């Protein structure tokens, strides 16, 4: 996984790198489970796919940018953050990245590379 959290969001939410990557990973797992409900091997293959993680990270970063713009968070860059503000931003962040709000599917490159891996491994 090659992604970094937006430093502004991280500071505003009082979230460390470990917590951020845990949320990102858990959401990816929930997403794969929802999209490939009965395809256990497909889930495993995509989970291990570098292409999936690049795609997922880009989707995550895109939603981060949308959240920053919609809430004007860039204006809070130097503002001290109290716990109430941090909790509100976290709540908005979690809603933005919730599985229920996602209406996305991996692109052709992600699926083709994963399917190719499954064929090479003799799974398909």
Q: What is the pLDDT of residues 27-56, one digit of tens each?
A: 999 988 888 877 888 888 889 888 889 889
Token pair 């858990």 is at which residue? Answer: 26
Indicate the pLDDT class of residue 87, thresholds 50, 70 and 90: very high
Contacting residues for 31 by C-beta, under 8 A, at least 6 apart = 56, 99, 102
Is 121 a residue whose pLDDT tops 70?
no
| pLDDT for the residue 120 | 56
Q: Which two tokens stand for residue 11?
A: 């500071």
- Single pTM value for the model: 0.77
Exposed, middle or buried by CB within 10 Å (0-12, 13-18, 19+), for 46? buried
Task: Indicate whether 25 pLDDT > 90.
Answer: yes
pLDDT score of 89? 95
């Amino acid at each position: 996984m090659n992604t970094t959290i937006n430093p502004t969001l991280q500071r505003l939410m009082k979230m460390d790198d470990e917590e951020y990557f845990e949320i990102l990973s858990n959401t990816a797992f929930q997403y794969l489970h929802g999209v490939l409900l009965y395809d256990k091997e497909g889930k495993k293959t995509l989970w291990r796919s570098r292409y999936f993680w690049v795609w997922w990270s880009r989707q995550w970063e895109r939603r981060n940018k949308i959240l920053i713009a919609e809430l004007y968070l860039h204006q809070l860059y130097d503002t001290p953050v109290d716990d109430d503000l941090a909790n509100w931003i976290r709540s908005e962040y979690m809603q933005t990245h919730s599985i229920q709000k996602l209406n996305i599917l991996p692109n052709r490159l992600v699926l083709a590379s994963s399917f190719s891996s499954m064929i090479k491994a003799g799974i398909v």
